[in-house]
C-alpha cells in the first residue's frame, strides 16, 4: 500500500476521479496551489494528499465562490495554523513533562493539560 504523501496517480486518473479537466490541474500547479511529484520523464504524479488538497480547492472555488488568489491565501493560512497547532502540541507535551517533574519534587496542585480542538484547556486537580 502507498503512503498518503507518495505520488502514484497520473494526471488523467486524478482528473477522472475528481471529474475535472486535466488543464484545471495544470492551472492549479501554475498558480502554486498544488505541487505534484514528477517522474524522470517529467510526468506529473499526484499523491492522495494532493488529491485531498485539490478537493479543498474545488470546494472553495465551486461551493464558496472563492477565486484562486483567495484560495492561495486560505491555504497558506491553513498551513500556518497547522504549524502553530503542532508547535502548541509540542509545548503542551513539554509543559506536561515539566509539571510532572515539578510534582515529583513538591506534591502540590499540578495542572493537567488536555487538548480540545485548537484550544488548550488547563484543569487543576484538587489534592
Q: List pLDDT tens digits, range 81-115.
A: 999 999 999 999 999 999 888 888 876 565 565 55
Is the entire prediction scored with pTM above 0.85? Answer: no
CATH number, span 9-66 = 1.10.1660.10
Which residue would you say has higher pLDDT here, 42 or 105?
Answer: 42
Identify the sign of the CA torsion 79, 81, 86, 90. positive
Residues 105 and 78: their CA atoms lie apart, in Å, by 40
DSSP assigned state of 4: T
> What H or E segment, with its residue span, contains residue 43?
none
What are the residue boundaries of the structural domains of the chain, listed by start? Answer: 9-66, 81-124
Residue 37 pLDDT > 80: yes
Amino acid at each position: 500500500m502507498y503512503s498518503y504523501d507518495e505520488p502514484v496517480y497520473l494526471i488523467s486518473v486524478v482528473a477522472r476521479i475528481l471529474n475535472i479537466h486535466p488543464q484545471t490541474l495544470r492551472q492549479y500547479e501554475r498558480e502554486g496551489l498544488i505541487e505534484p511529484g514528477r517522474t524522470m520523464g517529467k510526468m506529473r504524479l499526484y499523491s492522495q494528499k494532493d488529491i485531498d488538497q485539490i478537493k479543498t480547492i474545488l470546494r472553495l472555488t465551486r461551493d464558496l465562490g472563492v477565486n484562486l488568489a483567495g484560495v492561495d491565501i486560505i491555504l497558506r493560512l491553513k498551513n500556518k495554523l497547522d504549524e502553530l497547532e503542532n508547535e502548541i502540541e509540542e509545548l503542551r507535551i513539554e509543559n506536561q513533562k515539566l509539571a510532572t517533574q515539578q510534582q515529583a519534587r513538591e506534591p502540590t496542585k499540578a495542572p493537567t493539560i488536555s487538548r480540545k480542538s485548537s484550544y488548550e484547556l488547563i484543569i487543576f486537580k484538587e489534592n
